[in-house]
Amino acid sequence: VFESKEQLWLIGERTTEVWYDAGGQYFPFQRLVGTLMQFGTKAAASVARFSTSGQDGIILFGRSDRGENVIIRTKGFAGDVVSTPAFGAEVATYATTSDAIGYTYQEDTHEFYVLTFPSADVTWCYDAQTGLIHKRLSYEPYTQQFHRHRSNCYMNFNGKRIVGDYQSGSLYQLTRSAYTDSGWPLLAKRRS
């Protein structure tokens, strides 16, 4: 269930409906006719509010009767797949995807959707301005391995982007002026 002003989005496994507050005496909500969308979500915690070009909507890790393992963004009452076939192919190899969690944040003019698969130890990030998707990982120097990004949740507080660390529960500021990842080195791989 996702609530937006006077609307109530009921997101199922394969379909989504929008209901509105009709002010009824015994049950205030009624289905908004013509808003049955043919997609749902594989992971309830992946649903997040998303805004592009001044239009609010939602973004989620989706599925439908026609397929799954896609990121879907709504525009009005329509859903657009914004992930790539490469994303879907890799996610299909994960043993568990129902535990995916997502959050959104804005930095400069970019709106980001961060989607983490805890069981697979991988984080993906979609940038609405560029339309590109990339992995966002943290590096552990002791084992010399990449793991999912440390952030597990997000909030904007006092003009700062604050994230919660999934390992320690600590809070950190998400900023480009930090040159370590909670004291660990920041390493990146670039591929074209």
Quote the mean pLDDT of the chain. 87
Backbone angles phi, psi at 188, to 5 degrees: -140, 145
The span from the CA of 192 to the CA of 189, in Å, is 10
Residues in a beta bridge with 64:
67
Give pLDDT tens digits along the chain (192 positions). Answer: 655 557 888 999 999 998 888 888 888 888 888 888 899 999 999 999 988 766 788 999 999 888 899 999 998 888 889 999 999 999 999 999 999 999 999 888 889 999 999 999 999 999 999 999 999 888 888 888 888 888 888 898 998 888 888 888 888 888 777 777 777 777 777 777
Beta strand pairing call for 7-11 and 16-21: antiparallel
Angle (CA) 174-57-9 rounded to 5° is 115
63-117 pLDDT, tens digit per residue, is 988 889 999 999 888 888 999 999 999 999 999 999 999 999 988 888 999 999 9
Q: Write down the residue that tokens 């909670």 correspond to.
A: 182
